[in-house]
Structure 1
Amino acid sequence: MADSPREGKVARPPDFTQLIDLASEFVGGKVTQALRDNPSFKEHEYTEFGKWMDGWQTRRKRIPGHDWCVVQLGIQGVIRGFDVDTSYFTGDHAPRVSIQAANFEEDKQPEIPQREVRTGAAATPEEFEAISELKSDDWSCLVPMTELTPGNPASSHNYFPVTSQQRWSHIRLNIFPDGGIARLRVYGTGQKDWTAGDPKEPLDLVTVAYGGACVGFSNAHFGHPNNLIGVGTATSMADGWETARRLDRPPILENDENGILLVPGCEWAVFRLAHPGVITQIEIDTKYFKGNSPESCKVDGCILTTQEEEDMVRQKWDLPGHKWKPLLPVTKLKPDEMHVLDSLTPELQDVITHAKFTITPDGGVSRLRLKGFPSSICLLRPREKPMMRFSVKAGFRANL
């Protein structure tokens, strides 16, 4: 476990917390304490079972054993770290925790019985019998039994880095022997079996569900760019990428001869694709952004090795312009609308590993979809031609 901060000091979160929460309800995670919002505290509110707490809290155990729960991840993938958050649980937090994991293939997902919402009640014998089919006692251990800190504001986050490179679909959170936890976050990257599926069907190569990730951005004042590549459609403006208003906007705005705003600046985000490939169609959704969508945008792509990406992160993505290949020219955007656009590579000639999404001058976008074909199974379209295979030199990240 990462060192816990001393009382009164707020430690810098580890880098893995910049990844997506694979267990969040917003990506399909199935357990009530895996929420994306931060926990809250109502100082004077009580229920018939005791103090109102925003999280999972078990009864004071009076029988042998310890308490646990099973979480089905919304996105199957590689786990990089956990955050066991005990916010506001100061006299009743779980004193110790361990975490196990298992992987069930998509077509062999076990049926997990849904617990009834019965606050203050333990699982029934029938529910215990049903969940025993998972044999979760024998799952792999990712975090051994470790003490937790109570939920004081400066020390409520308990971070656990994970080195396993395996793909996981379920986790089991054990608390010893009982107590409360406000939030459980499972940070990692999605991972897809690229040999499965129809090779003629384009895939969203940037989605977090398959392993896409934001690796750099200029501004994220109101929402992180990772939201752009989230699962499903956005639920609100909070579920998109929104920047602050640029302070270099001219006092009076003017258009050029093509109707594009003449402004000096822009905002951008760079994404690593889940798999090197060719982009054939681009979807840009400004849903919910009715008075604050960008005026225009463009998309560029490039091919980088792992080392080159790391260099660019350190250099804050100061990549020479000629390295970028245009995928979408400057295109005007409309508010609260889905835009479906063809890429500039209809013949499937340019394989890329990274994409840069640039908006002008600022604003918010709900979703970005970069649809195309993985480099190993690219097919030409629309003409009927034999399968083309593209090779990518060594040196790329393992999850590509």
Structure 2
Amino acid sequence: MINVASCELGTEVIYTTDEFFANANRMFAETEAVFKDEYDDNGHWMDGWETKRRRDNSNDYCIVKLGNLSKINSFLVDTAHFKGNYPLAISVKGVCAKDIDDSTFIKDIESIPWIDLLKQSDLKGDSKHNFDSICQKEITHLRIDIYPDGGIARFKAFGEICFDENLYEQENINVASMRNGARAVYTNNEFFGPLRNILKDNEAVNMGDGWETRRRREPGFDWGIIELAKPAIIEKIVVDTKFFKGNYADSFSICSSYMKDSTDDSIITQSMFWEELISQQKLDMDKEHYFEKDILKHNKPITHIRINIFPDGGISRLKLFGKFVKED
């Protein structure tokens, strides 16, 4: 599942009752929370959202706008480093409000038809908590309530991005973008950096923001499988090795397939027999590489790709430009 509440997908807080000690947007960082023995004007610096101590009978909450229309299956709530200042409980509600602007939404918060995704549940300090969502309807906004106050280091909502039907009308779009519903299915190795990183839209910020495998000490090569949101025809490929200098992949190739009904486990073995989309191509360090339509092996609709890197190493981004096509 994709963390649909990631700041990397455009998730942001549009309202909060309080964030005196720590900004609520910090909750949605993909990195693990850190502890710093530092103080600012309001108190100890904390890596997460932290409100001041309440002196009434109410509780704090924040309103979160997701980067994409999404369905949520589960939550991870992490109170790392919050030991004497964590909330006693949390609840999560959601709503689908695609056509309401932020200012109107905030003004009408109390009249919003919220749906329960997580009923009030207990929390512990300095711990990770996993909760199932009790509803998988399409959601654009979340309301996160903490009881009565305190701090949360990280908040993640795992699920799937709902496909935007308007994308069928567009051409030359990156169909391998995480924001367009692509997801990393499986990789044989991601020791230094996860495969999903290469599906981000933004430029890599450092070497740790890409996919990097360990040094291979045996024959073979490393690879990763990616599923597109819908079938697509590929017209251009971009492979970026930005920041990878002494550890970039020497070369790459991509094979592809159109699979209507399959499971993640079954396609791992099947991928050995997929048709080649682009043959093995040399890569250089710290460079963006472009491969145009004339070098691609076919222009058939595909739903999955397997990117192979030889023999190991890292790449920062993979982009597949083309268009989505409707299924038969």
* TM-score (norm: length of structure 2): 0.87
Match of 2:116 in 1: 141
Match of 1:20 in 2: 2
Match of 1:274 in 2: 229
Matches within 5 A, 1:42-61: 42=36, 45-47=38-40, 49-61=42-54
Match of 1:104 in 2: 97
Secondary structure of 2:270 counterpart: coil
Contact 1:191 1:209 in 2 (8 A): no
Deviations 1:152-172 (A, max 9, x none): xxxx11111225443222211
Deviations 1:265-290 (A, max 9, x none): 21100011111122221111111112
Contact 2:75 2:158 in 1 (8 A): yes
Task: Count how many residue pairs are aligned between Structure 1 and Structure 2.
Answer: 315
Match of 2:275 in 1: 325
Q: 1:310 to 1:55 in 2, by over 3 A?
A: same
Secondary structure of 1:71 counterpart: strand
Match of 1:172 in 2: 143
- 2:169 is aligned with what amino acid? P
2:319 is the counterpart of 1:369? yes
Q: 1:140 to 1:59 in 2, by over 3 A?
A: same
Match of 1:256 in 2: none
Deviations 1:332-370 (A, max 9, x none): 11111111213566873x222110000101111111112
Secondary structure of 1:79 counterpart: strand
Match of 1:387 in 2: none
2:243 is the counterpart of 1:288? yes
Match of 1:356 in 2: 306
CA distance in 1, matches of 2:113, 2:169: 37
Secondary structure of 1:373 counterpart: strand
Match of 2:209 in 1: 239
CA distance in 2, matches of 1:207, 1:214: 10
Contact 2:276 2:297 in 1 (8 A): no
* 1:338 counterpart (288, 291, 297): 288
Secondary structure of 1:307 counterpart: coil
How much does 1:205 deviate? 1.9
How much does 1:238 deviate? 1.3
Between Structure 1 and Structure 2, the one with more strand by share is: 2
2:183 is the counterpart of 1:183? no
Contact 2:198 2:317 in 1 (8 A): yes
Secondary structure of 1:283 counterpart: strand
Deviations 1:178-217 (A, max 9, x none): 12211112222222222x1573513222221121111110
Unaligned 5+ runs, structure 1: 1-18, 113-128, 249-263, 377-389, 392-400
Secondary structure of 2:8 counterpart: helix
Contact 1:20 1:226 in 2 (8 A): no
Of 28-37 and 134-143, deviating more is: 134-143
* Bigger radius of gyration among the two: 1
Identity within the alignment, %: 32
Match of 1:89 in 2: 82
Contact 1:277 1:352 in 2 (8 A): yes
* 2:29 counterpart (32, 35, 49): 35
CA distance in 1, matches of 2:120, 2:205: 37
Contact 2:178 2:199 in 1 (8 A): yes
Secondary structure of 1:166 counterpart: coil
CA distance in 2, matches of 1:20, 1:130: 26
* TM-score (norm: length of structure 1): 0.72
CA distance in 2, matches of 1:20, 1:276: 19
